[in-house]
Homo-oligomer: A and B are copies of this chain.
Amino acid sequence: MKKKSKYVLGILGATGAVGKETLDILDERKFPLESLRLFASKRSAGEVLSCQGREWKVEELTPETSFAGIDFALISATDAISREYGARLSAAGILVIDDSGVFRMEDDVPLVVPEVNRQALRSMPRRIVSIPNCTTTPLVMALKPLQEAAGIKRVVVTTFQSVSGTGAAAMDELMNQTRNLMAFREAKAEVYPYQIAFNLLPHIGSFNEGGDCSEEIKIMRETRKILEAPALRLTATTVRVPVLRCHSEAINVELERPLKPHDARAALAEMPGVLVYDDPSKKLYPMPLDATGKDDVFVGRIREDESTANGLNLWVVSDNLRKGAALNAVQIAECLTEH
C-alpha cells in the first residue's frame, strides 16, 4: 500500500461489540485517520458514533454500497458478511483485515498476531489478512516465548470463555437471565442452547463427528499456522462461562527442553504485549475482572508440572474484545501503514 500520512478506514460491523471497541482503540492509539466509514445492518444504520473527536454516521451495508476511497477495511460481523464483502473489498484494491473464520486457514491469507508473526504480513497476495480466533491469540502470545526458549512438544488447553465472545446479544442474555433468576423468574435461553447464568456450557461452535467443537479445531489449526509448527501436538476443550468479558485459559505445556518456572517467567516478561502477573503469595494471579479493558495478555500461575518431563502449567487471561479482536486488528493496520 502507498504510504500516506492519514488513511480512510472502513469498519464492517461497526455497531457490534468488537466494532465499538475498535473505535475506542483508534481513539486511544491515535490511529492516523483521514476519515471513517462505518457500516452495519439496516437495523443499526443511522446511529451516530464518535471517534477521535468527530461524529460518524453508520451506513447500511448493501450490495450497492460503494467503497471507493477506503484504504483499509476491518470486518467483524458474520461469516456471511466476510465471505461476500471480503472478496469485493479486496478486488477493489482495499486491504482487508478480517475477524471471521472464513479466510484464516487459506494458504494465501496470512493469519497474524503482530507480536508473534508480523513477518507473515510480507505476503498478502489476496490483500486479505485474518486475525485469529479470540482464544488462539492469547494462547500463541503465551506459547511463542516458550517455543523460542525451549521448544514445544505438546499442549493441553482448557478455555473459560466469556459471553462477549459470542457478541453483544449474548452479553444481554447473560444479564437478562441473571436479572430474571434473581427475581425468581424463568431464564429464557435464545442465543445459547441452554441457560448460561450460573451454568457452564462445554460447547462453543458446532460439533464434528469425532465430538470436537469447531472452536477446539480452530485453536488447534490456527495455533499451528501462527507458530509455523504444522506438527505441533495440541488438544483443546472449550467451555463457555458466565463471565461478561475476557477469555481465560488453563494451559499445560510439555517442552522439548528443561525450562524452570523462573526462566519461563523471564521469557514471558520479555514478550511485548504479555504482562506476567504471578505472585500467588500476595494473591496476585490473572482474573477476568482485572484484565477487562486492558491490552495486555495476563499470564500467571506459572508453575512446574511434575507429571511429565519439562512440564509447565500457566493460567492466561486476555480481553477477548481487545487483544482477542479489535486491538489485534488495529495493530495489524498499524503494521501495514509502516510497510
A interface vs B, CB < 8 Å?
154-156, 158, 160, 175, 178-179, 182, 193-195, 198-203, 207, 210-213, 233-235, 237, 239, 241-244, 248, 250, 252, 261, 278, 280-281, 283, 285-289, 300-308, 311, 313, 315, 317
Q: Which residues of B contact A308 (CB under 8 A)?
A: 154, 233, 235
In the complex formed, the residue of B with least CB distance to A300 is: B202
Given known contacts A158-B250, A210-B304, A250-B158, A237 and B315 CB-to-CB distance under 8 angstroms:
yes
A305 CA / B211 CA spacing, docked (Å): 11
Task: Name 30 interchain pairs, CB-CB below 8 A, sorted by A.
Answer: A154-B308, A155-B307, A156-B252, A158-B237, A158-B250, A160-B200, A175-B182, A182-B182, A194-B289, A195-B289, A199-B287, A199-B288, A200-B241, A200-B243, A200-B248, A200-B287, A202-B300, A202-B301, A203-B280, A203-B283, A210-B261, A210-B303, A211-B278, A211-B302, A235-B252, A235-B311, A235-B313, A237-B250, A237-B252, A239-B248
Within the complex, what minimum Cβ distance (angstroms) separates A192 from chain B? 10
Known: A156-B156, A160-B160. 8 other contacts (CB 8 A): A193-B283, A194-B287, A194-B289, A207-B280, A211-B302, A213-B280, A237-B252, A252-B252
Stoichiometry, as copies per complex, reads 2
Within the complex, what minimum Cβ distance (angstroms) separates A163 from chain B? 10
Question: Looking at the complex, which one of B175, B243, B280, B289 makes contact with A211 (CB distance below 8 Å)?
Answer: B280
A304 CA / B289 CA spacing, docked (Å): 34
Within the complex, what minimum Cβ distance (angstroms) separates A321 from chain B? 15
Q: Which residues of B contact A302 (CB under 8 A)?
A: 211
Given known contacts A182-B182, A241-B241, A287-B199, A235 and B160 CB-to-CB distance under 8 angstroms:
no
Determine whether the beta carbon of B156 is less than 8 Å from that of A237: no
Determine whether the beta carbon of A287 is less than 8 Å from that of B202: yes
Determine whether the beta carbon of B202 is less than 8 Å from that of A289: no
Question: Looking at the complex, which one of B155, B160, B194, B235 makes contact with A241 (CB distance below 8 Å)?
Answer: B160
A305 CA / B210 CA spacing, docked (Å): 10
A193 CA / B212 CA spacing, docked (Å): 35
Interface centre among A179, A193, A237, A261 (most CB of B within 10 A): A237
Q: Which residues of B contact A193 (CB under 8 A)?
A: 283
In the complex formed, the residue of B with least CB distance to A312 is: B235
Interface centre among A200, A306, A313, A315 (most CB of B within 10 A): A200
Given known contacts A182-B182, A237-B250, A199 and B307 CB-to-CB distance under 8 angstroms:
no
Within the complex, what minimum Cβ distance (angstroms) separates A297 from chain B? 15
Within the complex, what minimum Cβ distance (angstroms) separates A4 from chain B? 43
Q: Which residues of B contact A244 (CB under 8 A)?
A: 198
A198 CA / B250 CA spacing, docked (Å): 18
A210 CA / B311 CA spacing, docked (Å): 13
In the complex formed, the residue of B with least CB distance to A208 is: B280
Determine whether the beta carbon of A301 is less than 8 Å from that of B160: no
A66 CA / B26 CA spacing, docked (Å): 72
